[in-house]
Amino acid sequence: MGSINDIAADIKLVTADLKDGKGTAGKFLKDEKLYDDAREAISRFNSTTARIESILSDAQAGKGTLGRFVTDETLFNNLNQTASNINQFSSEGTKFLYDFRQNPKKFLRIKLAIF
């Protein structure tokens, strides 16, 4: 029976602290500004979530720049081709630099003329 009485006493203390506004939960229950701030934060969160859902819905439907970017395979293919072209250009540039270092005379011709 002792432990039940202890539990009941603890519950009584917690309830009293809540009523007196002690602790985080007690402050939240007693402080109207804190409560109002929490409600406002939740409202802003809900509004932001709704906007994000709208943006994602439009994107999935192919609307707007993001939607076209996400759904247009032509754009995807063009970006892949551009990346491939950059890789090829880089590879050819590296090969040219190697060849130039091996045989600079092949690429540089100095013609000297006097009169």
Q: CA angle at residue 101 from 98 to 102, to 5 degrees?
A: 85
Amino acid at 38: A
Confidence of residue 2 (pLDDT cuts 50, 70, 90): low
Which pLDDT tens digit goes with each residue over 33-82?
888 888 999 999 999 999 999 999 999 998 988 888 888 889 889 999 99
Both tokens assigned to 14? 């917690």
Give residue 20's identity as a one-letter amino acid code. Answer: D
Q: Which residue has the higher pLDDT, 68 or 115?
A: 68
